[in-house]
Structure 1
Amino acid sequence: MFDSRHIRTFHEVVRTGSYSAAARSLGYTQPAITQQMKALERAVGTPLFLRAGRRMRLTEAGEALSRHAGAILGSMEAARQQMAALTRLRAGRVRVCAFPSAGATLVPEALARLAADHPGVRVELQESEPPESLDRVVRGECDITLAFTYPGLREQVPDELVEIPLLEDQLTVLLPTGHPMARRRAVRLAELADERWIAGCLRCRTNFLHECAELGFAPDIVFTTDDNLVVQSLVAEGLGIAMMPGLVLSFLVHRKVTGRALDPAARRQVSAYVLREHLRIPATALVLRELEAVAANRAGC
């Protein structure tokens, strides 16, 4: 294994033509240059220089190494500059996986903050619901995942992952604007036992069924879809009502739909998950900080 210092010194000896000139250029003593070249020759296993009177010339091995030395040093400098860019957050890539309502709310705000101060850090976006999104981090397919859990349905998080809590997301009921309960500020789930329902993703649907069972009724689920926009359209047409996360309200655009909080309040926990060792990667840690800041702002609203 070559010592990079020896390669740099060798390159300077070749460039300047002598040990003494290289010593002056590098700020070393001539004996130090001599010792480094002897060490390099031991590593190579053959002489690199021959003396012809007061002049030095390269051996065949020296000529071969000379042809590569510049490229080696150039690659090392390029690597040094890239590492510096990564650690100083002038560059970097972070793969973020999020469930749809987080991808439409928390993630864009965090990326806008990131782009303003660190435009060289690039983020790749993926979309997936938990628990699949958690498995993606473990498999190395993404660096950060945003996922949610419900209080009564806590699932085992893989041991490799660290959870960073972001916010509690209050659940709401989506109603057609003409629905009698749309005039209220909050609604009770038990009062909606006779309604037709539109259910969402598997984890949300499981929690919904659990909440209804706790109140002693089984909901009449007429449609199931993971698409929040489809849910809105179905509700708007009076085909059913839906229990939805509060994050959805920030991009609720259908004029025939309104959202009402549940009484008593029901919430889910939204968190970021990351492999423990990735917390030490500057770009990943930065994206996590931006997500935490956005979540804190929302929680304070």
Structure 2
Amino acid sequence: MDIRSLLNGPLKIRHLVLVLTIAEQGSIVSAARHLYITQPVVSRGLREVEEALGAPLFERGARGVRLTPYAEVFVDHARAVVGHLKQATQHIAELADATAGSVTIGTYVAGGNLLVPKAIALLKQQRPHVSIHVHEATPDRLVNGLVTGEIDVVVGRLTAQHGEPELQQAALYHEPMEVVARVGHPVLDLGPTTLADLRNYPWVMPIAQTALRGELERAFARDGLELPEQQVDCSSTLTLRAIVAETDFLALQPHTIGAADPLLRIVDARIKGIGQTVGVTTLPDRLPSPAVALMLQCIEKVATDIRKTLPAAIRKQTRPVGTPGMP
């Protein structure tokens, strides 16, 4: 395949969008419906891409299509290209109107209750006409949105990324994860507790395949304990809060959430090995728009104020603001 003839010839942006849509929808028919075009147009466009690349991208089957190894590589790069174009369009629009702009923030638990709302309020004081969107989702979905350009910045717990494009992560502050219970929960009368004590109560557990779930499972294993017999897996912050506030379920929550929620109390039980560094995640090769750059400044300002409210022992664990890389 001659890369010069490929770029100067048949491959167009519409082809990238077409392949991404087929991969996301899982079939030619669904892709055509999603793009409001006919099935023959989709099939012809896909054939053009495969001929240009000299490789098959999808295997057709009775239940739809399946990505070939060639498609898995191509889709990752196509997603990044389309994401860059979306960001470029937004950046140009903001330069044309310095008073406006748009910022999309992705968050998941950490930072969502205090850091993000306060940063938004601070930005609105300076740029009231900036449009702000907040998406709450699991970390893997947030990273995917970051790559596709649907999300500008992810705010939350910094965790190692495997099999993802290079990310730029900046630590803001460190805080422990606390066991929380409702006001008046009988566990609060026990004083200092161990995991063996807490295992006797029902738990709202982090969903599988998250870093927090793995850390909690390892904590129980270190103490030679099985996981609680009664448990509910939950990824919704609001649902978790409602369950804990209304029942005898226990759950792990960031220190700032447990300390600020009037319906919850922090249980006297520090679990070793479970803490989190809250920070921001962006793509290093994507220039932030003026509105996004201002939002990042507001996030850092609010994080500085939050660090001052944390206990001294916790503040010492926080790396300097803006330090890229993993905690």
Pairwise same-fold verdict (TM > 0.5): yes
Distance 1:107 1:186, change over 3 A: farther
Matched, 1:115 2:124: yes
Q: Is it true that 1:171 corresponds to 2:180 in the alignment?
A: no
- Structure 1 length-normalised TM: 0.62
Q: Which runs of 5+ in 1 are unaligned?
A: 1-78
> Counterpart of 2:81?
none
Cα distance in structure 1, aligned partners of 2:225 and 2:200: 9
Work out which of the two has the higher radius of gyration on C-alpha atoms and give 1 or 2: 1
Is contact 1:200–1:224 with CA below 8 Å preserved after alignment?
yes
Out of 181, 192, 201, which is 1:195 matched to?
A: 201
Report the counterpart of residue 294 of structure 1 in structure 2: 302
> 1:275 maps to what in 2?
283
List alignment gaps of at least 5 residues for structure 2: 1-90, 310-327
Q: Residue 242 of structure 1: CA displacement?
A: 1.6
| Equivalent-residue separation in structure 2 for 1:296 and 1:262 (angstroms) | 27
Looking at structure 2, the residues matched to 82 and 211 of structure 1 have their Cα atoms a distance apart, in angstroms, of 48
Residue in 1 aligned with 2:267? 260
Please show how residues 49-128 of structure 1 align to structure 2 within 5 Å.
Answer: 83=95, 85-86=97-98, 90-128=99-137
| Residues 27-75 of structure 1: per-residue CA shift (max 9 Å, x gap) | xxxxxxxxxxxxxxxxxxxxxxxxxxxxxxxxxxxxxxxxxxxxxxxxx
SS of the equivalent of 1:109 reads: helix
Determine the structure 2 residue equivalent to 1:219.
227
Q: SS of the counterpart of 1:115? A: helix
| Cα distance change of structure 1 residues 113 and 264 upon mapping to structure 2, 3 Å threshold | same
Partner SS for 2:215: helix
Residue 138 of structure 1 is matched in structure 2 by 147
Distance 1:217 1:278, change over 3 A: same
Alpha-carbon distance, 1:133 to partner: 0.7
When the two chains are superposed, the root-mean-square deviation of aligned CA atoms in Å is 2.9
Identity in percent: 23
State the one-letter code of the partner of 1:194.
Answer: N
Distance in structure 1 (CA, Å) of the matches to 2:238 and 2:167: 31
2: CA distance between counterparts of 1:110 and 1:131? 23
2:180 partner amino acid = L
Cα shift at 1:237: 4.3
> Is the CA contact 1:172–1:243 (under 8 Å) kept in the aligned structure 2?
yes
SS in structure 2 opposite 1:206?
Answer: helix
Cα gap change, 1:271/1:91 in structure 2, threshold over 3 Å: closer, same or farther?
Answer: same
Aligned to 1:156: 162
